[in-house]
Structure 1
Amino acid sequence: MPDWTVLVPLKRLSAAKSRLHPPTMTVPRESLALAFALDTLHAAANCPAVGRVVAVTADPAVREAVAGAGLDAVDEGPRPGLNEAIRHAAARLRAADPAAPLAAMTGDLPALKPGELAEALARAARLPRSFVPDAAGTGTVLLAANTGSELDPSFGPGSARAHRASGATPLDGLWPSLRRDVDTRADLAAAGSLGVGRHTLVLLLRARRCNVGHHAGHRGHVRPPNPYRDRLPR
C-alpha cells in the first residue's frame, strides 16, 4: 500500500487555543500553539507509514515556521472553516495522486509518538474510512480515508459522533499520545506526563524557570525538582 499523506490543518495563531491559559505570561498562547503544531508535524514526518506531511494554513507566520522546518504547507483555499480547508487541500492532493491514502490530523498533539501514529494508520489501511477519537471520546484527532474513499471531515464539537454517523469506523487502540490533544492547561499537564516534543518542551522549561524565579525571592522557598529534566532534548 502507498504511504499515507497526512494533512494537518492549523488555525491562524491569533485564533488558536483560545481556551488554553498559558503557564506564565512569558509564554504566549500563540507560541504554545505554534510549538504544538511543529511537534505534531515533526512526529508525523518521522512516522514510517507516512510519505508526506502537509500543513494547511492561511497564517504567513505558520507557513514560514513550517517551511523553516523543511515541511510542506498549502493554503486553506477560498472557503472559510477548518473542514473546508481540509477538503480544499485533499482535493488538490487527490488530483495530483488519485491513489494516495489521505489522513487529516489535528495540530495540537505535542506528545505524539510516531510509532502510535503508525499503528493507527496500519489499522486504517484495512478500512475504507476511519477515525481515532480524542482522549475524551467526543472529538477526533485523526480521520483517515483509504484509496477510493473521501475524507468527508466533520471536525469540531462532537466530531466523533459526526464521523461515526457518516460511516467512518472508530479505531480504539491504546494510543495515549495520539489521543492527547491539548485545549486546556490540564490537557497540557497530561501531555507533559507523556513526554512532549522539543518545541513544546523548550517553552515549558522557560515557563518553569520564570515561575521558580518569581517565587525564589520568598523566604523559605525551596527549589522544586525539575519534572522535565529527563526529557531534555539531547
Structure 2
Amino acid sequence: MSWRVVVPFKGAPNSKSRLAARFDDLARHALALAFLQDVVAAARAAPGVSGVTLVSSEPGLATLFPSDPAHPDAAPVDVTPDPRHGLNGAIAHGIRVARAHDGAAHVAVLLGDLPELTAAELSATLALAAGHPLSYVTDAAGTGTSMITLAPGETAQPRFGAGSAAAHAAGGFVRLEVAAESGLRRDVDAPDDVDRIARPGRFTAAVLAAVVPESAR
C-alpha cells in the first residue's frame, strides 16, 4: 500500500502567529520551519510513504528537503504554491497534486506543527487508517485535528479550523484511536505548548536551544 503525505505550511511572515505573545517574528519563523522539517523527516522515513507534497509559497522551501544519497529510499518532497484560499483550500489543492502524482495511493494530510512526531508513530497510524475510507486523528485537546486520511477515490472535503474534530466526524471521517502521548497528537499552537515539547525532533531541538532559555525548559 502506498501513501502520499500532504503538509500545508503558511510560511513567513505569519508563521505560528499565536506564538507572537512570546516570540518575535524571526523566532516564530525559525520554530515553524523546524517543526515542519521534523514532520517531513518523519513522513519521509515512514514505510509506505512514496512522496510528500508541501503546499506553501515560502521562498526557497524546497532547498530544505534535498534528496539524500545516504538514504535513497527516503520519500521525495515536492512543493506546490499555496493557492491562497485559506487552510482548507491549500489542503484540497495539495490532495489534488498528490493524486496527480499517484492516483492509486492513499492520501494523508498532516499539519506541520508536530515536532515530536516519529516515523514509527506515523507508520502505525497509517496502518490503522488503511482500514477506513476516511479517517482523522484529534489533537491533544480532542477538539482539533492533526491528520486526516483519504482512500483512493474518496473526495470528502477537509474541515480544519475551530471544532474540526466534530466537523470531520460529521463529514464521514472515522476517528482513529491514537495514544495521547503520540507525537501525532502533540501539536504546538500556543506559547505554553512550546514548553511542553518533551521529545523534540532534531530540527526543533536545535532551534529550541537557540530561542528558549535553558531555565525555561
Scaled by the length of structure 1, the TM-score of the pair is 0.80
Whether 1:99 aligns to 2:80 is no
In the alignment, which residue of structure 1 is the partner of 2:48? 49
**Distance in 2 between the 1:24 and 1:95 partners?**
38
**Gaps in structure 1 of 5+ consecutive residues:** 213-223, 228-234
Whether 1:128 aligns to 2:133 is yes
Matches for 1:83-232 after TM superposition, within 5 Å: 83-174=88-179, 176-191=182-197, 193=198, 195-208=199-212, 211=213
**Distance in 1 between the 2:45 and 2:131 partners?**
22
Query: Higher helix fraction: Structure 1 or Structure 2?
Result: 1
- Are the aligned partners of 2:53 and 2:80 in contact in 1 as well (CA < 8 Å)? no
Encode CA deviations 1:2-50: one digit per residue, 9 max, x unaligned: 2211000100221121111486669611111111111111011111132
Encode CA deviations 1:125-160: one digit per residue, 9 max, x unaligned: 000000000000111110000122125211111111
Scaled by the length of structure 2, the TM-score of the pair is 0.86
**Distance in 1 between the 2:66 and 2:48 partners?**
22
Moved over 6 A (4+): none
Q: How many angstroms does 1:117 deviate by?
A: 0.8
The number of residues matched between the two structures is 210
Larger radius of gyration, structure 1 or 2? Answer: 1
**Distance in 1 between the 2:206 and 2:168 partners?**
35
**Gaps in structure 2 of 5+ consecutive residues:** 69-73
**Distance in 2 between the 1:204 and 1:22 partners?**
16
